[in-house]
Amino acid sequence: MDFEATAMTTLPSLVQTSMPEVGNVHVPTIMKYDETSKVLVMSDAGKRTLKEAYTDPATNVPKIGRQLGAWLAYLHVFTQEADIGEGGNPTARSIYRWSYSNLANVANQYGLNADFCEYVNNLYGLSLATDDACVCHGDFWPGNIMLDEEQNVTVIDWEMCRRGRGELDVAQFAAEAYLLDRFRGGKGLMDSFCKSYRRSSAKVWGDITTDRRWARRLGVHIGVHLAFWPASVEWADRDETKAVIELGHELMRRGDAEDLDWLSENVLGALFNRDK
């Protein structure tokens, strides 16, 4: 919890959230933190997560996606030198590898290439221990985005915050947004989020999508997420689940091969194709 408290205390002053495209996205305010008993009291963030509010007709999903994409881009841009504690939260790095370490088990359940999954784990899963480009939220998905009645947006659950690579945050949110769009109403969360991240990060970094290492890690990680988590979290029947897992495998292969042409014309088009 020390890392969570550090992140919630220090990051708001580092991330330039005054930019208009960020809107009303913020981090909870810590009211009290007892370091001995590990009790943290923070400000109210609302009653519903974005995942819960997604199907509500009153929820402006594209607007929230744009705000979150900009906010996350600035988190990554402005924390390249930020210190969040000793080792950059090694426990979070280890936990985050769970999906990589168990990817082959899911592949076996669905008759897919488990050897390739082991290759992905040994190469990309191993890299999680040493990634050190910026501060990552570490568990950035719609279930950790809270909305109040005015649709102010609060990013919660910072216990997995760590030093890492920003594209993994992007990939995790994009994967979960894809699942919501595919199975809960097609409201455009993924596209709005991805476009906003690309445009906002470009203001400082230039076009990140031409960086092949960035594209490779992004493609592989969204593939890992889609190839693993739908087998544990029910979204659809087995046939639909297998289709998503197969898509995850294709994304892993295309990402590993740095196939930017394929990535720009498929699921991640909003990130890689400037015409979208």
For residue 40, the SS3 value is strand
Interval 12-22: pLDDT, tens: 877 765 566 77
Mean pLDDT of the chain: 91
**Residues contacting 14, CB < 8 A, separation 6+:** 78, 79, 82
- Whether the model pTM is above 0.85: yes
Contact 79, 11 (CB under 8 A): yes
The separation between CA 145 and the C-alpha centre of its own chain, rounded to angstroms, equals 11
Q: Do residues 93 and 164 touch, judged by C-beta distance below 8 A?
A: yes
Tokens representing 85 are 């504690």
Q: Is the pLDDT of residue 27 over 60?
A: yes
List of residues 6+ apart from 228 with CB closer than 8 A: 99, 102, 103, 106, 245, 248
Q: Which residue has the tokens 């999906």?
A: 99
Poorest-confidence range of 44-48, 140-144, 216-220, 250-254? Answer: 44-48
> How far is Cα 11 from Cα 82, in angstroms, rounded to an integer?
8
CA distances from 174 to 107, 194, 267, 271 (A): 21, 7, 9, 10
- What is the model's pLDDT at position 63? 96
Torsion angle in degrees (nearest 10) through CA of 3, 133, 106, 157: 30
- CA-CA distance, 111 to 129, in Å (whole number)? 30
Q: Read off the pLDDT of residues 224-241 as tens digits, 9 standing for 90 and up.
A: 999 999 999 999 999 999
Residue 276 has pLDDT above 70, yes or no: no
The rounded radius of gyration (Å) of the Cα atoms in the chain is 18
Q: Scanning the structure block, which residue is given the tokens 């001995």?
A: 36
Predicted local distance difference test score (pLDDT) of residue 154? 94
C-alpha atoms less than 13 angstroms from C-alpha of 35 in its C-beta half-sphere: 4
